[in-house]
A and B are shown apart, each in its own frame.
Chain A
Amino acid sequence: MSKYLLDKFLYTVDRDPDLVERYRSSPRELVTWWEEDRANAVLNCHTGEASTWLRFTDDERQALIGHDHVRLFELGAHPFLTLTLFIAMFERDNTEPLEYQKAFGARLAHFDMPYPDIAT
């Protein structure tokens, strides 16, 4: 389990407009590039410093590549981060207000309390 890394992906992609577009249009390419190039960047540090040990599990990588926000919820990714990024990618396709947001919630309807733990 690397909930922290899932959250780091969602966080860094959401906050970069170019990455949001790349993730929407080419998720496999973007996820693969991000894991190789960005997963180990220490964000709160000078450019060029990096960790050496961070990588996704196969399950996590597939959930990201598949835009599978239901699986991300199940894996304990932070729901605020997932929601914000997925709205950025897919709200534009709405044909009525809040259509995507409501469908996003409906796809999670089978989850009961307590929800998956999001502590990292």
Chain B
Amino acid sequence: MASIVAVIASTHHPFYYKASTATGEDRPPFADEWERKILAFRETLTRANPDVLVMVGSDHFHQLWLDNMPQFLVGKAPFYDANWYNEEREFGLPRMLLKGQEDLSAHILRNGLDEGFDLAFSNELRIDHSITCPIITLRPEADLPIVPIYTNIFAPPLPQPARFVKLGETIRQIVEQWPSHLRVAIIGTGHLSLELGGPRQFGPHGPDPEFDRRAVEWIASGDIDNCLREVTLDSLHSPGNATHGFMDFMLMMGVAGAGAKADYVDTLDLFHTMEAYFTWYPTQGGVR
């Protein structure tokens, strides 16, 4: 069976690429520290030596639209083009082409359906920065095949937080049962407190530092119970109007497992939002 060699949860800040590649007067003052933290975070994936990446993210109204909106969608294609015109325009992100691991996509779809998740699928999916940002930060060679999994954290009505956790637990089980010798890393990105298009956007910190502090504690300690007790679809409006992206962190807590303490935790307080990076090494597989 396949082994899960790393579970990684991260924010996906679209400005990292531009900040880290800027030089001279264009380089923002926080870029050096940010780059140091990203290089250390990258090492946590590199040392796990994965063959395949399962990538959890959320389409930002690029390919998925309100006339036909899936809650959870798995890509099943041999290739994925990546990044969109408006992400080049606003964030300077490069166009990319990633390989797909189609047999693992098929395995996740079949078994996900049988486990009670009516997963949508796509045979032609152009992925966006929720998946390419962690490729840029964690595996900039972009040389490993992926299985993209999209969640709806964007267009209400949304699935409940507990459903995200359950999907994470289910993905973990399904990948562990994949009849393959390959080493799989499961990587998901979301947000801590975040406001976009509202009065609290682009402040000196994230809109709710206290929520961020508690969220980092829940994730780092694997405290799914307290997280689920305090987080509801309604409560997530309060830390910032885009904070429902935190549910992708909750999904990754489900992948890591209840009570699983993260082996690596780091944060960076930036203007606009707090960055947060977590890595777990499940006992099955482990570092080679």
A: which residues have CB within 8 A of B? 4, 7-8, 11, 14-15, 17, 42-44, 73, 78-84, 87-88, 91, 98, 101-102, 104-106, 108-111, 113-115, 118-120
Q: Which residue of A lies closest to B203 (CB)?
A: A105
Contact of A98 among B67, B89, B202 (CB under 8 A): B202
The 3 closest A-B pairs by CB, nearest first: A79-B197, A83-B197, A108-B199
Most buried by A among B90, B237, B271: B90
Contact of A15 among B67, B86, B203, B237 (CB under 8 A): B86
5 contacts between A and B (CB under 8 A): A17-B85, A88-B86, A101-B202, A105-B198, A119-B156
Would B198 and A73 count as touching, CB distance under 8 A?
A: yes
Question: Which residues of B from 125 to 153 have beta carbons under 8 Å from A?
Answer: none
Q: Which residue of A lies closest to B201 (CB)?
A: A105
Question: What residues of B have a CB within 8 angstroms of the CB of A110 in the complex?
Answer: 199
Total contacts A-B at CB 8 Å = 80
Would B242 and A80 count as touching, CB distance under 8 A?
A: yes
Contact of B89 among A8, A88, A111 (CB under 8 A): A88
Question: What residues of A have a CB within 8 angstroms of the CB of B68 in the complex?
Answer: 44
Question: What residues of B have a CB within 8 angstroms of the CB of A106 in the complex?
Answer: 199
Query: Smallest CB–CB gap between B125 and chain A, Å?
Result: 14
Would B199 and A80 count as touching, CB distance under 8 A?
A: no
- Expressed in whole angstroms, the Cα–Cα distance for A111 and B67 within the complex equals 29
Segment at the interface with A among B58-66, B224-232, B248-256: B58-66
Would B61 and A11 count as touching, CB distance under 8 A?
A: yes
Would A113 and B196 count as touching, CB distance under 8 A?
A: no
Does chain A have a CB within 8 A of B84?
A: yes
Question: What residues of B have a CB within 8 angstroms of the CB of A83 in the complex?
Answer: 196-197, 201
Does chain A have a CB within 8 A of B111?
A: no
State the majority secondary structure of interface residues on A: helix
- Expressed in whole angstroms, the Cα–Cα distance for A73 and B202 within the complex equals 17
Query: Smallest CB–CB gap between B244 and chain A, Å?
Result: 11
- Expressed in whole angstroms, the Cα–Cα distance for A105 and B201 within the complex equals 6
Would B201 and A104 count as touching, CB distance under 8 A?
A: yes
Question: Interface range on chain B: under 10, 10 to 19, 20 to 34, or 35 or more?
Answer: 20 to 34
Question: What residues of A have a CB within 8 angstroms of the CB of B242 in the complex?
Answer: 79-80
- Expressed in whole angstroms, the Cα–Cα distance for A57 and B199 within the complex equals 25
Question: What residues of B have a CB within 8 angstroms of the CB of A102 in the complex?
Answer: 202
Would B202 and A105 count as touching, CB distance under 8 A?
A: yes
Does chain A have a CB within 8 A of B238?
A: yes
Would A14 and B86 count as touching, CB distance under 8 A?
A: yes
Question: What residues of B have a CB within 8 angstroms of the CB of A104 in the complex?
Answer: 197, 201
- Expressed in whole angstroms, the Cα–Cα distance for A110 and B237 within the complex equals 17
Does chain A have a CB within 8 A of B17?
A: no
Would A119 and B201 count as touching, CB distance under 8 A?
A: no
- Expressed in whole angstroms, the Cα–Cα distance for A79 and B235 within the complex equals 18
Contact of B90 among A78, A87, A113 (CB under 8 A): A87
Would B202 and A4 count as touching, CB distance under 8 A?
A: no
Q: A8-B66, A120-B155 are in contact. List 5 more A-B contacts (CB 8 A).
A: A11-B65, A78-B197, A81-B197, A98-B271, A108-B199
Contact of A80 among B61, B89, B157 (CB under 8 A): B61
Question: What residues of B have a CB within 8 angstroms of the CB of A80 in the complex?
Answer: 60-61, 154, 196-197, 242
- Expressed in whole angstroms, the Cα–Cα distance for A108 and B60 within the complex equals 22
Q: Which residue of B lies closest to A51 (CB)?
A: B67
- Expressed in whole angstroms, the Cα–Cα distance for A118 and B60 within the complex equals 15
Would B84 and A15 count as touching, CB distance under 8 A?
A: yes
Would B85 and A44 count as touching, CB distance under 8 A?
A: no
- Expressed in whole angstroms, the Cα–Cα distance for A97 and B85 within the complex equals 21
